Amino acid sequence: MNKELLENIKKTIVFIGYMQNQLMDDGKNKAKIKLSGTGFIFQLNKVFFLATAKHVIAEVDPKTGKVMKEKPGLFVFNNMKNGSVRFSSIDELKKSYKFFYHTNDKVDITIIPFPLNVTDDDVKVFAEDMFVDGGNLYETYDVFFASYQPGISDLAIDSKIIPIVRKGSIARMNSNKSLYIDGSAFPGNSGSPVFVMPSPIRYSSNNNSISFGDDTIGGKFIGIISQYTPYTEVAISQQTGRPRVIFEENTGLSLVWLNDYLKEIMQTKEFSDFILSQTSKK
């Protein structure tokens, strides 16, 4: 892994959460930050966007995936070049911009226009050429993702956004343009971008050969983490025969929606019209 590439990818990561007033012993209020999810910044036609999992910023129907309402009071946190952290109200963004969802309600992706202050914000963005076609992926590909991690990432201690970077591999390609990675995700990792791990050795499907130094997709973006996949087991009462306790464990598999869905959102007329309206102002 090239260190410069990794550092640039880490700078695309933003945290999402709440700011709550907490009464201190001296009687003064202090803002307490409660983080809840991850997002990342990309650029298209010189317009900046925040992408994350839909359920991070909205309450969704668990069966249909349809947005019931967007969560109030959320903020986006990103690093600034002066060493501090900027927090942007998502409620304020709603007043100026439309949030973009996929027409398929089950797709757990949101795109939000997110104006950056390129002078002050210490944030990197990646362009559309960082997107990998899902058709080029298959099982056993090594991947990695960067995200907020509950219990480790703490803005009060770190004083800046420091994402955790975790590795995994593609465990299954699904027929609906999603995949499972063999890489544990937890609440807070939702919305994290997933990238192909760079490798000096790649298999070429064109001539069934191994190539060296021909890695064209290493470090590129493949999709967004939605959620971890649980395994549940029900304990049945011997006396009544009824379920008494449900045990749930993290299988270590995480669902990833491929960036094909991001592209489909960006190809809609509504999104294209928005891009045109923004670029015509510049």
- Which pLDDT score, from 0 to 100, does residue 26 have? 61
Domains of the chain: total: 1
Confidence at residue 96, expressed as pLDDT on a 0 to 100 scale: 92
- Predicted local confidence at residue 282, as pLDDT: 60
Other CB atoms within a 10 A radius of the CB of residue 80 amount to: 16
We report the CATH number of the domain holding residue 35 as: 2.40.10.120
Contacting residues for 211 by C-beta, under 8 A, at least 6 apart: 201, 202, 203, 204
Determine the pLDDT at residue 64.
95
pTM: 0.87
The pLDDT value given to residue 22: 63
Retrieve residue 58's tokens.
């909205």
Which domain, by its residues, includes 249?
Answer: 3-279
What per-residue confidence (pLDDT) applies to 28? 62
pLDDT of residue 237: 73
pLDDT one digit per residue (tens) for the chain, 282 residues: 688 989 999 999 999 999 876 655 665 667 789 999 999 999 998 899 999 999 999 999 989 999 999 999 999 999 999 999 999 999 999 999 999 999 999 999 999 999 999 899 999 998 888 998 888 899 999 999 999 999 899 998 999 999 999 999 999 999 999 999 998 888 899 999 999 998 766 555 555 555 455 678 889 999 999 998 877 777 787 777 787 777 678 788 999 999 999 999 999 999 999 999 988 776
Rounded CA-CA distance 156/143 in Å is 30
Q: In the prediction, which pLDDT does 210 show?
A: 52
Q: Which residue spans within the chain are E strands per DSSP?
A: 13-23, 29-44, 47-52, 58-60, 67-70, 74-79, 85-89, 100-101, 110-113, 142-147, 164-173, 178-182, 193-196, 201-204, 209-212, 221-236, 243-258
| 135 to 51, 178, 222: CA distances (angstroms) | 22, 11, 10
User: What is the predicted pLDDT for the residue at 156?
Assistant: 86
Q: In 3-state terms, what secondary structure has residue 74?
A: strand
- In this prediction, residue 85 carries a pLDDT of 95
For residues 30 and 216, the answer to whether their CB atoms sit within 8 Å is no
